[in-house]
Amino acid sequence: MADATAGDGIAPEENRSASGLLLSADGTPLKNSIARAERRARIRAFLLILPLLAFVMVSFIAPIADMLFRSVENDIVADTLPRTVVELQDWDPASGVPGEPVFEAFYADMLDATEAKIHTRLGSRLNYEESGMSSLFRKTNARRLGRIDDTQPLAPQFEKIDEDWATVEPWAILKTFSARYTPGYFLQAADMKLTPEGVESVDETQQIYIKLFWRTIILSLTITCSCLLLGYPVAWLLANLPMKSANILMILVLLPFWTSLLVRTSAWKVLLQEQGVINDILVWIGLVNDGARLVLINNQIGTVIAMTHILLPFMILPLYSVMKTIPPSYLRAAKSMGANDWVAFWRVYFPQSIPGIGAGAILVFILAIGYYITPELVGGTSGTFISNRIAFHISTSLNWGLAAALGSLLLILVMGLYWLYDKIVGIDNVKLG
Amino acid sequence: MTESSDAFVEFERVQKSYDGETLVVKDLNLNIGKGEFLTMLGPSGSGKTTCLMMLAGFETATHGDIRLDGKPINSVPPHKRGIGMVFQNYALFPHMTVAENLAFPLEVRKMGKADIEAKVKRALDMVQMGAFGGRRPAQLSGGQQQRVAVARALVFDPELVLMDEPLGALDKQLREQMQFEIKHIHEELGVTVVYVTHDQSEALTMSDRIAVFNDGKIQQLAPPPTLYEKPDNSFVAQFIGENNTLDATVDSVDGRFARVRFNDGTLSRALAVNCGGPGSQTRLSLRPERVEFDANVEPDEEGVTGLVKELIYLGDHIRVRMEVLGNRDFVVKVPNGAEVSELRVGETAGLTWRAEDCRALDAA
């Protein structure tokens, strides 16, 4: 062997190419040899993760990409009314109702659309921007269009179908939303709207999303804090009790995981309502007047109580696993040096448990900010989250574009908070065990 | 030094039980003088660490009094005892630098900033770690961490320092070096040290006195030479240093010496230390280096014959493993010389010793 001396601790002769690259024994560059030698291992590793990768791509990455796309996509106007969109390009809403060429193009487009029965779909899409558009397009149906005589001027005949066609508004909306990509959904999600004159805030009475986002963040923070306050002592007990008692306590901590989320949330309804267990007990021991029972459910208090309960294990477990690694000798050392119990805890134990707090807090906060079922069941109107609104737009109002925009904003918000968290706490300081 | 009048630390009739069924420490009486280096030595589970923890205040004595400088401390919480402590795994706070670790005991004592800095620097210099104040414990080697731990236990000038197997995690060479360093620091500062270890050579090197623990009791409390050369019972003889044992029956006791009879009927003489009267069983203890080969052993002398089983060459001396009176692990250390060349595996050889070196102990 060329480098038989290597084993004797003497530096082996190194083969080097002209350019200074290290060469292996047969003269190929060393880096290539490593790549070839480890290719099999890498292929095998890749094959092992392939099923999961495919699953994640199909079930997670693709839907998210689709959702992000839907929040700006707006093909429907340009696809349904291609000629009208072209004609409207040169039209200025300030100059009044558009001229005859626009009506001709619109008539032709609508004939095709009504034949394909897609004109009502366009109507409901435009109704998200301006109410009344849906019924306007439903009225402009195949039967009424059939009565139009295309040798006569079209504008008055459209006015006969619905007098709105003789006003500027529907045309202005058509022009504003004729682009294939629109910021409209995002603006809506931020309580603003796109008008022919530009971007403006919606009526104060109709602003709900910004308020909902704020409420979601603040309630999630409250839930995270109360989870920390309740979970920290429990985690400490878990980490410091003798094995046998700690196991029993651990089972109690994990017990909620074994019960259905719906059952647990419904149990809170029973406990928290005005004629419920908690109020009854408070009245019975005289803390609360029977006439002034506490309102604990269908508001923010209900959401905070129920979600704190549900998310508590996600705080306790990371805290526990970090505390388990802190040897009791640190506290003893601190005490032997003259620190009383509180100083020993605050200056020695607590700083070392921060990675657990970080992990638990981020886990609970991110779970809370996207939570849906519990706020829906116990939150009433004042305790619902942004995710409840997203669900409403997906399943009830069918405004998927807005739902997608709200979802994207939530995603951006969480990522932004994560970045902030990394800046302040440092993600390296997060430890799950 | 052992008089209770000037004892600095006193254990008086101390008992400790964790479960109320068995006593981990049974009736402990121990006086430690000011400035003394006392080692508690014993196998694991012998109660030595429990004693240390009771002194530090992390365990409460089930019964009895512990006094520090004359004052009972049973109900004083650990942080008010003012005792420095070095832990087995160092227990340096990982989120603080070395200097912050050392400053901690001074800060909780509300000392001024300038004072703290001066004291920290002095303590670090004492253990030759002056250049490492800004490092984190994780960036130090085991030996360096050990030094910092010692400095931290001493930085607030305690009069008593407890060390719980502080060198257990170090490799042999470093351990020996640290033994001397700790010994020198002790001599320099005149601080009282109570040291717990299960390593007998560590105990022998460092201590003024050693308390050998077994089964919750102090088996013997004595300076190292006494402990090695004059063990009181067969546990101490076996636990400290290398030891050969031979079982025998006491035939008669004659002043300091006893005449003992081996199982094969051979008679021998031994120092009567802890054996009963005539007829009782005894165990003889013989250090390997106190046994000599003698070609012409006569019966009824201090001598027997044995079968050479193995010769182990160790350079300056040879270890000869023999079978003597049923003991297959009887070891004799012979200095490397002409005498050795006469030994052959499988042959019998005569052994003699001085009656003073053969101690008749309890049969345990």
**SS3 of A154, please?**
helix
More confident residue, B360 or A23: B360
B108/A352 touch (CB, cutoff 8 Å), yes or no: no
- Residue A358 CB: number of other CB atoms within 10 A? 23
From residue A429, give the alpha-carbon distance in Å to each of A159, A230, A351, B169, B211. Answer: 68, 22, 11, 28, 46
Looking at the DSSP bridge assignments, the partners of residue B282 are B248
A194 pLDDT higher than 60: yes
Q: Please list the alpha-helical segments (H only) found in chain B.
A: 48-56, 98-107, 113-126, 142-154, 172-189, 200-206, 224-229, 234-239
Q: Which helix (H) or strand (E) holds A194?
A: strand A192-195
Residue with tokens 């009048």: B5
User: Residue range A381-389: average pLDDT?
Assistant: 90
3-state secondary structure of A325: coil
Q: How many CA atoms lie within 13 A of A30 on its CB side?
A: 11
Residue environment code for A232-250, b if the CB has 16+ CB neighbours within 10 A, otherwise e: bebbbebbeeeeeebeebb
Q: Which position has the token pair 């052993």?
A: B297
Tens-place pLDDT, residues B110-149: 999 999 999 999 999 988 898 999 999 999 998 899 999 9
- What's the mean per-residue pLDDT of chain A? 87
Q: In 10 A of CB B28, how many CB atoms?
A: 23
Q: Touching check for B82 and chain A: CB below 8 Å?
A: yes
E strand spans, chain B: 7-16, 25-33, 37-41, 63-68, 71-72, 83-86, 160-164, 192-197, 209-214, 217-222, 244-254, 257-262, 267-272, 281-286, 292-293, 303-313, 317-324, 327-335, 348-352, 359-361
- Whether residues B95 and A327 touch (CB distance < 8 A) is answered with no
Q: Which of A9-23, B136-150, B307-321, B333-347 has the lowest mean pLDDT?
A: A9-23
What is the arithmetic mean of pLDDT over A60-64? 91
Interface test with B, best of A244, A330, A337 (most B CBs within 10 A): A337
| CA–CA distance, A61 with A48 (Å, rounded to integer) | 19
Report domain extents, chain B.
Answer: 4-234, 242-361
Tell me which chain B residues have a C-beta less than 8 angstroms from the C-beta of A335.
57-58, 77-79
Say if residues A334 and A344 touch (Cβ distance below 8 Å): yes
Nearest Cα to A374, choosing from A305, A303, A313?
A303
pLDDT at position B299 is 56
Strands B209-214 and B37-41, bridge-based pairing? parallel
Q: Is residue B364's pLDDT more than 80? A: no
CA distance B271 to B254: 10
What is the C-alpha to C-alpha distance for residues A42 and A119, in angstroms, rounded to an integer?
55
The rounded distance, in Å, linking the Cα atoms of A58 and A149 is 52
A338 touches chain B (CB under 8 A): yes
Q: Is A369 on the interface with B (CB under 8 A)?
A: no
One-character DSSP codes across A7-38: GGTSPPPPEE-TTS-EE-TTSSBHHHHHHHHT
Cα–Cα distance for residue pair A71/A400, rounded to 1 Å? 8
Query: What separation, in Å, do the N-terminal and C-terminal C-alpha atoms of chain A show?
Result: 47
Residue-level pLDDT at B116 = 94
Report the C-alpha gap between B246 and B331 in whole angstroms: 12
CA–CA dist A331, A79 (Å, integer): 71
Which pLDDT band holds residue B109 (cuts at 50, 70, 90)? very high
Quote the Cα angle for A372-A378-A384, to 5°: 50
Task: Report how many Cβ contacts below 8 Å link chain A to chain B.
Answer: 66
Stronger pLDDT, B211 or A93, i.e. the higher one: B211
- For residue A242, give the 3-state DSSP assignment: coil
Segment A184-213 mean pLDDT? 86
- State which H helix or E strand residue A221 sits in: helix A209-240
Q: Give dist(CA B306, CA B233) in Å, integer.
A: 25
Are the C-beta atoms of B38 and B78 separated by less than 8 Å? no
Q: pLDDT tier at B15 (50, 70, 90 boundaries)? A: very high
The whole-angstrom separation of Cα A111 and Cα A101 is 15
Q: What is the pLDDT of residue A5?
A: 42
Q: Which CATH class name applies to B4-234?
A: alpha beta
Q: What is the mean pLDDT of chain B?
A: 89
> What domains are defined for chain A?
4-37 (no CATH), 75-182 (no CATH), 209-429 (1.10.3720.10)
Q: For residue A432, which of A338, A363, A371, A375 has the smallest C-alpha distance?
A: A363
ipTM score assigned to the predicted complex? 0.82
Tokens of A133: 């558009």
Query: Which of A332, A338, A352 lies closest to B105 in CB terms?
Result: A338
From A137, A85, A148, A97, select the one nearest A113 (Cα to Cα): A137
Question: Does any CB of chain B come closer than 8 Å to the CB of residue A145?
Answer: no
B328 has a pLDDT exceeding 50:
yes
Phi, psi dihedral angles at A7 (to 5 degrees): -70, -20
**A341: nearest CA in chain B?**
B79
Query: In the prediction, which pLDDT does B325 show?
Result: 86
CATH number of B242-361: 2.40.50.140
Least confident of A245-249, A349-353, B93-97, B290-294: B290-294
pLDDT digit string (tens) for B71-89? Answer: 999 889 999 999 999 998 8
pLDDT of A429 higher than 80: no
Q: How confident is the model at residue A159 (pLDDT cuts 50, 70, 90)?
A: confident
- Distance CA(A390)–CA(A413), nearest Å, equals 15
Res A23 pLDDT > 90: no
pLDDT in tens, A218-264: 999 999 999 999 999 999 999 999 889 999 999 988 887 888 888 88
Over range B12-16, report the average pLDDT. 92
The arithmetic mean of pLDDT across residues A174-198, rounded, is: 86
Give the Cα separation of A238 and A312 in Å (integer).
14
* Mean pLDDT on A116-134: 87
Confirm or reject contact between A325 and chain B (CB < 8 A): no
Residue A2: which pLDDT band, with cuts at 50, 70 and 90?
A: very low
Does residue B256 carry a pLDDT above 50?
A: yes
Length, in residues, of chain B: 364
Residues in Cβ contact with B102 at an 8 Å cutoff, skipping those fewer than 6 apart: B119, B120, B123, B124, B133, B148, B151, B152, B155
Pairing state of beta strands B192-197 and B37-41?
Answer: parallel
Q: What percent of chain A has pLDDT over 90?
A: 35
CB contact under 8 A, B78 and A330: no
pLDDT at A18: 67
Least confident of A17-26, B91-100, B274-283: A17-26
pLDDT-derived band at A6, boundaries 50, 70, 90: very low
Model confidence at B2: pLDDT above 70: no
Q: How far apart are CA A223 and CA B351, in angstroms?
A: 83
B300 pLDDT more than 70: no
* pLDDT score at A425: 74
pLDDT at B343 over 90: no
